[in-house]
Amino acid sequence: MCGIVGIINEGNISVKNDLLKSLKRLEYRGYDSVGFADVQGNVEKDIGEISKFMDSIKDYKTSCAISHTRWATHGGVTKTNSHPHWNSKKNIFTVHNGIIENYEELKKELISKGHEFITETDSEIISHFFDEELKSKTMIEAIKSFIRRIKGTYAILIIEKGKNRIYAIKKDSPLVLGLAKDRFYLASDIYAFSDNTNKAIFFEDEEFAIVDPDRYSFYDLNGNELKKSIYEFTWAITQEESVKDYPHYMIKEIHEQPISSQRLLNSLDGEQHEKVAKIANLIKNSKRVVFTAAGSSYYASLLGVYFLNRIGINAHTLIASEFQNFMLVDKDTLLIAISQSGETMDVVTATKWARERGAKIVSLVNVPHSTLQRISDISLEIHAGPEISVAATKTFTNQVVALLYLSYILGFSINMKTIPEKIDYVINENEESIKHLANELYDKKDIYIIGRGLSYPPSREMALKLKEISYIHAEGMMGGELKHGTIALIEPGTPVIALIPGKDFDMHSNAKEVEARGARVIKIANMMESDFKIDVTINDGKFAILSVVIGQLLTYYIARKKGLPIDKPRNLAKSVTVK
């Protein structure tokens, strides 16, 4: 995880208004600490969020600087462990996203050569490594030797005091060069500069670049100069970027769902339709269809499996971090990888592994030109627009909309057109009663959510939302499985949310079973007695989306009642680019 941004400019930039403003756009990648260094040798860093940091430092002016927002892996959340790191002479500064796996061995070696280390991080070895190598080598030779020696993952920016130049190296962590009118950006993703330019060059693994104020050059791991293509992306959806009418991004993004799902439907009917048809064909003609994803995207994939199975297509899904342990993949396999960011390391790793075994790769991503998109044979964009809150809300919905659409093309019965209006209805009709329910549930220690079939994946997604944003232990589970053990935890007053799609009498019985043991049962149903209004008919696939929207709102209002940091919950980052 972590976000990195470097800017090199013809004239001067403001560290606060240019560099850190860009870095702030990557804060979703981690927000434990922040720091920057410039070519004059100024360095500032501190724990906490970027806005607090911006208030605490003077406004440095410089033509070249690098910055970092951290999600801690090696070493606690301290000012010392924050990036940038430097060498003993304090003339080489580095920022790093990724993990250096063999840092202990390298650290010992460097200490024996007189280098002094001051942090607990793996990343600190980078500046010392270059300091040592540059004693006898050119920078290009030093970078080649770095790529050869280092085991692990990295997107790294390096500057040297007094030299107007940024060196950038990448392996397995994302890195992109942004080409703006008067400056170059080097960043973890395009969102860092998408307000300023839509032109970008993506680094591939084991490539590096040397960037001066007026030119850049890319090299492969042997130091051969590369010719790289410039991509023009369309991504910024400016009317959705401002949070000013809402107290938090999460509630803004929940409310955006009617618009963002409509936008996706338009694109699936329009410019993405040919891709949809190709994917549908691949699904029909593959011997094995398997999904992989993490977190909310995994719960969306579970729905994908459910929809495809309903129309006679055998499909499976597996959490990306365990994919290689539990899934068989060969050249007759179609892998459908789902990821909002397109950068989740577990998903990218599983996808590369499947690709090496000859599988065809389809992906569903939100961030265009992300790593996952670039390693796919076909990639569908879910067009949810930038999602800033750590909680996946509108992106989960759009993933499910895309999967419903694909299934619909293949024969699943659903009226796709009404999805946006049904979401709108659920939000408008239920938001007030959800606030009341949040007041009742906010101090509970545990919440159980039960579902079956169509409503099982939503039960998992609701539980994840409650855990990560409202800090309540929640379990989403199969209603039928409850009586095999977990029912022992039900005490008088334990909240159990029962998701009852259509006339699912088994699900209804499961709700009754916990009610009989004193549970406080809250029902989300469309064809039976319900605590919320959901306007869809029997077994309509939309129930999956609508029940989750209720869970999103409930989570939000519980977290708000508890005064929690809703958009940036503790210990989390939106994009998980480490294993």
Q: Which residues are near ligand AGP by CB under 6 A?
A: 294-297, 339-341, 344, 347, 390-392, 468, 575-576
Under DSSP, the state recorded for 526 is S
Instruction: Give all strands (DSSP E) within 518-578, no chain letters.
Output: 520-525
| Distance, C-alpha 54 to centroid of its chain | 25
* Residue labelled with tokens 């040798």: 41
Residue 142, phi then psi, degrees to nearest 5: -65, -40
Contact (CB, 8 A) for 36 and 15: yes
Under DSSP, the state recorded for 15 is I
What is the Cα–Cα distance from 377 to 141, expressed in whole angstroms?
35
* Residue labelled with tokens 């508890």: 562
Nearest CB to ligand AGP, comparing residues 201 and 347: 347
Q: Which of 2, 16, 144, 465 is catalytic?
A: 2
- Shortest distance in whole angstroms from residue 264 CB to ligand AGP: 15
Nearest CB to ligand AGP, comparing residues 279 and 384: 384
Nearest CB to ligand AGP, comparing residues 9 and 292: 292
Nearest CB to ligand AGP, comparing residues 168 and 558: 558
Residue 84: is the preceding peptide bond cis (ω within 30°)? yes
Count the Cβ atoms, other than its own, within 10 Å of residue 151. 12
Nearest CB to ligand AGP, comparing residues 449 and 507: 449
- Shortest distance in whole angstroms from residue 340 CB to ligand AGP: 3
Contact (CB, 8 A) for 577 and 343: yes
Cβ within 8 Å of residue 426, ≥6 positions away: 532, 533, 534, 535, 546, 549, 550
Print the SS3 string covering 232-301. Answer: ECCCCCHHHCCCCCCCCHHHHHHHCHHHHHHHHHHHHHCCCHHHHHHHHHHHHHCCEEEEEECHHHHHHH
- Shortest distance in whole angstroms from residue 470 CB to ligand AGP: 12
- Shortest distance in whole angstroms from residue 299 CB to ligand AGP: 8
What is the Cα–Cα distance from 124 to 429, expressed in whole angstroms?
53
Pairing of strands 333-339, 288-293: parallel
- Shortest distance in whole angstroms from residue 368 CB to ligand AGP: 13
Residue 574 is a catalytic residue: yes
Q: For Cα atoms 395, 397, 399, give the angle at the middle one, nearest 5 degrees.
A: 70
Q: Which of 24, 107, 171, 574 is catalytic?
A: 574
Tokens coding 70: 């951290």
- Shortest distance in whole angstroms from residue 295 CB to ligand AGP: 2
- Shortest distance in whole angstroms from residue 542 CB to ligand AGP: 21
Cβ within 8 Å of residue 98, ≥6 positions away: 2, 152, 153, 154, 155, 156, 171, 172, 173, 577, 578
- Shortest distance in whole angstroms from residue 392 CB to ligand AGP: 4
Nearest CB to ligand AGP, comparing residues 196 and 339: 339
Nearest CB to ligand AGP, comparing residues 159 and 391: 391
- Shortest distance in whole angstroms from residue 468 CB to ligand AGP: 6
Residue 252 is a catalytic residue: no
Instruction: Give all strands (DSSP E) within 172-275, no chain letters.
Output: 176-179, 183-187, 199-202, 207-211, 216-219, 225-226, 231-232
Under DSSP, the state recorded for 483 is G
Contact (CB, 8 A) for 168 and 7: no
What is the Cα–Cα distance from 392 to 198, expressed in whole angstroms?
25
Under DSSP, the state recorded for 393 is S
Nearest CB to ligand AGP, comparing residues 27 and 468: 468
Pairing of strands 231-232, 43-47: unpaired
Residue nearest ligand AGP, CB atom distance: 295
CA torsion through residues 270, 275, 278, 283, sign: negative
Nearest CB to ligand AGP, comparing residues 35 and 457: 457
Catalytically annotated residues: 2, 574
